[in-house]
Amino acid sequence: MSERGLQRASRRRARVVLAAAAGVAALVLLVCAGLVPSLLGGLFPDSSDAPLSLQAGCGMDLSKMPDMNGLSAEQVANAAAIIAVGRELKVPGRGLVVALATALQESTLHNHLTATDHDSLGLFQQRPSMGWGSPAQVTDPRYAATKFYRKLVAVAGWEAMRVTDAAQRVQGSAFPNAYQKWEHLAVALVSKLAGDSLASLGAPLCAAEGQTSASGWTIPAKPAVSVVNNVKQVHYTFHLGSGFRTPDRPTHNGVDLIAPRGTPIQAAADGIVITVLCQASSGTCDRDGGMSVRGCGWYVEVAHGGGVWTRYCHMGQRPSVVVGQHVTAGQLLGFVGSSGNSSGPHLHFEVHIGDQAIDPVPFMASHGAPLDGAA
């Protein structure tokens, strides 16, 4: 398949991924700024002039967090109401983050008075037919938040769970991983509106020693581990090669992780395998390609929900997964090789949101799995 054919196929797959994630909220916001105190009704002190803490988390630079001025007065008021109820119930800050991430996913902080799915209503899309309360009750933000928090704190060990896992234990959604992508915005909202520190909110931490970050992402090239004198040592045996859409390679839609042949390639986050394919103009992916060969070689694509999907190219042999298979972060997909358009063993790694390829380096750093800090 030509490069143009690959791009067309990618766009088709992106549309499939987006269709599968129908109903996922799309709140596109930019740079973090102050908040008009009147919108909060005096619930919280005005902290718009206070310096933002950048001490905790990996990639949690609040100066680059979503712009709360991009939220409507209704959205801010609903966020403030959810936080206020949590404070009254003495729910820890982490619970406020879970509640806001849930409401962002379910309603983008709009209080739906008319059912959008079955009889789902309100900020949390609670269903009267499932025992959440009457329509009038579940469309009352204070009532809805109270019901959510009471169910959340009844979940054993919820504070140690990922945001999406804790939310799912309450919501029982058909898209159980959809809540995770809202964690950063929820943390920013609670930090800005309530003044909580990032550390107290369980801000996403960096993935250490090849493990999964609090945001549910991990580095896709698995580090080697050895034991010397009964002490485990982790060796990041890869380094960044060609970058994303550099001047000399403007169509290079990912980054290259240079790693030894046979290095395990792992899923960067939970998801569903949507592509397993050999793509090489030489007609085979079971031997090394070269710069004259076109194509990704053996490659895998994984959809992660919310329109996000990842691609892993140039594997040295048939991948270890099949289309339709559910994978978890860190699960083996295949091994580093040099099939397809490749000058040597490496993993070509891409991140896409819908039909747009984005730079994997800042994306992975913001999700706690930096690609450039492990070499």
CA distance 17 to 65: 26
| Residues 128 and 138: beta-carbon distance below 8 Å | yes
Cβ neighbours of residue 289 under 8 Å, at least 6 residues apart? 280, 282, 295, 297, 314, 338, 339, 340, 341, 342
| Residues 43 and 80: beta-carbon distance below 8 Å | yes
What domains appear along the chain, each with residue ranges and CATH number? Answer: 3-13+208-366 (2.70.70.10), 31-201 (1.10.530)
Residue 302: in which H helix or E strand, if any?
strand 297-305
Q: Do you know the residue count of the chain?
A: 375
Please name the residue ranges forming H helices in the chain. Answer: 3-20, 73-88, 93-107, 135-138, 141-153, 163-171, 183-194, 360-366
Residue 240: in which H helix or E strand, if any?
strand 239-240
Phi, psi at 103, each rounded to 5°? -65, -35
pLDDT of amino acid 235: 55
Nearest one of 247, 85, 59, 245 to 152, comparing CA atoms: 85
With a threshold of 0.75, does the pTM exceed it? no
What type of residue is 296? C
pLDDT of amino acid 27: 26
Cβ neighbours of residue 202 under 8 Å, at least 6 residues apart? 93, 94, 97, 159, 214
Q: Name beta bridge partners: 240.
A: 257
The CA–CA distances, whole Å, from 109 to 49, 79, 155, 281 equal: 25, 7, 24, 49
Q: Report residue 170 as tokens.
A: 């309450």
| Residues 236 and 374: beta-carbon distance below 8 Å | yes
Phi, psi at 147, each rounded to 5°? -60, -40
CA distance 374 to 147: 43
User: Would you tell me how many other CB atoms lie within 10 Å of the CB of residue 140?
Assistant: 18
pLDDT of amino acid 18: 35
pLDDT of amino acid 347: 96
| Residues 267 and 373: beta-carbon distance below 8 Å | no
Residue-by-residue DSSP string for 310-372: EEEEEESSS-S--TT-EE-TT-EEEEBB--SS-SSSEEEEEEEETTEEE-HHHHHHHTT--SS
CA distance 270 to 181: 12
* CA gyration radius, the chain: 22
Q: Residue with structure tokens 């983008």?
A: 108
Nearest one of 295, 299, 293, 287 to 338, comparing CA atoms: 287
The burial class, CB within 10 Å (0-12 / 13-18 / 19+), for 14 is buried
Q: Residue with structure tokens 């929820």?
A: 186
pLDDT in tens, the chain (375 residues): 444 555 555 544 444 333 333 222 222 222 222 232 223 333 333 323 222 222 234 544 444 444 455 678 888 899 999 999 999 999 999 999 999 999 999 999 999 998 877 889 999 999 999 999 999 999 999 999 999 999 999 999 898 888 889 999 999 988 888 888 788 788 878 887 887 765 567 655 455 445 565 557 888 987 665 566 676 555 556 788 999 999 999 999 999 999 889 899 999 988 899 999 999 999 999 999 999 999 999 999 999 877 889 999 999 999 999 999 999 888 999 999 999 999 999 999 999 988 899 999 888 877 778 887 543
pLDDT of amino acid 194: 81
Q: Residue with structure tokens 């996403």?
A: 204
The burial class, CB within 10 Å (0-12 / 13-18 / 19+), for 224 is middle
